[in-house]
Chains A and B, each alone.
Chain A
Amino acid sequence: MPIAKVTVTLKKGVLDPQGQTVRNALEALGYDVRDVRMGKYLELTLPDVPHDELEGHVAQMCEKLLANPVIEDYRFTIEP
């Protein structure tokens, strides 16, 4: 069955204190990391339907629920 791999990330310019905290923690561990932005990753197991149809559906799911267009961007791939 096809699997949509969706990544939701904060838009540029949106403050990410969680990312900052992770960066600070990595720095405390001795790693030189300039910036960290945290996002969400979702895997959707989808029915066996033609890809272009699935792409349309996944895009709608992202627009309606999975991402908040005010603060987030999304991208996805569908495999296989």
Chain B
Amino acid sequence: MIFGVAVLPGSNCDHDCYRVVKDVLEEPVELVWHGDSDLKEFGALILPGGFSYGDYLRVGAIARFSPIMEAVKRFAADGGLVLGICNGFQILLELGLLPGAMLRNRSLKFICEYVTIRVENNQTPFTNQCVEGETLRIPIAHNDGAYFADPATLEEVATNRRVVFRYCDEDGRVGEEANPNGAMDNIAGIVNDRGNVLGMMPHPERCAEELMGSADGLKIFRSMLAYAVAPTSP
């Protein structure tokens, strides 16, 4: 499977994602310029973190209309894997490929720190190498990570096990103290109905090697690879 990493004006985590897939996972990967609209060769597409289009107006608001996004929507509709990391998650929300929205962090501070997240659902193409309930040590770096959804949407997301990651403490307990940014229900990552589109605020590409302090992020990339080798219905 060939991974594609989208590059939008203002993306700044594209090279880290590219490096992890190429040098750590050791799989074929290409950077995809946002002006391109041909995603046929890819099995998985990563929308990386950064400040695409300066986050002007709202995070991901203008990026959502970037030329590549029509192709991204078709790619997702055709069942391709889409991983939105941080700004990528924000763009998927604006695109409507995932439900809800992101608000400014409750503290109004840009938070750049390691957090712990709990794997709530390991039956996805992004977490099949994880154990349900396991904790991952992974960094966040964002100003707008407070996930928001109206009560009906939140209910639907929770009932259908579409919450994939929640912020928790070191022992895996999900609570207020472990919530870094005010995200509803401590939600750190969600998946779409079909299970092929995942958005997460933490950065797995920044912790895919022990050298970086944690290799927990690699599990997400390994899961995508495992899914490509042996796809199962989500």
Contacts and interface: CB of A to CB of B under 8 A. Distances in A.
Given A15-B103, A65-B57, A65-B61, A70 B108 contact: no
Contacts of A14: 103, 148
Given A15-B146, A65-B61, A65-B65, A70 B101 contact: yes
B22 interface: no
13 contacts: A14-B148, A15-B106, A15-B146, A17-B105, A17-B107, A17-B108, A21-B108, A65-B62, A65-B65, A68-B58, A68-B94, A70-B149, A70-B150
A71 B148 contact: yes
Nearest to B59: A68
Given A14-B148, A65-B61, A71-B101, 10 more contacts: A15-B146, A15-B148, A17-B182, A18-B108, A65-B62, A66-B57, A68-B61, A68-B101, A70-B93, A71-B103
A51 B104 CA distance: 36
Interface residues of A, number: 10
A70 B100 contact: yes
Q: How large is the interface on B (under 10, 10 to 19, 20 to 34, 35 or more residues)?
A: 20 to 34
A71 B150 CA distance: 9
A66 to B, nearest CB: 7
Interface string B90-115: 00011000001101111110000000
Q: Give the secondary structure class of B's interface.
A: loop
A68 B90 CA distance: 12
A15 B34 CA distance: 33
Contacts of B150: 70
Interface string B138-150: 0000000010111
A68 B105 CA distance: 17
A64 to B, nearest CB: 8
A32 to B, nearest CB: 23
Interface in B97-135: 100-101, 103-108
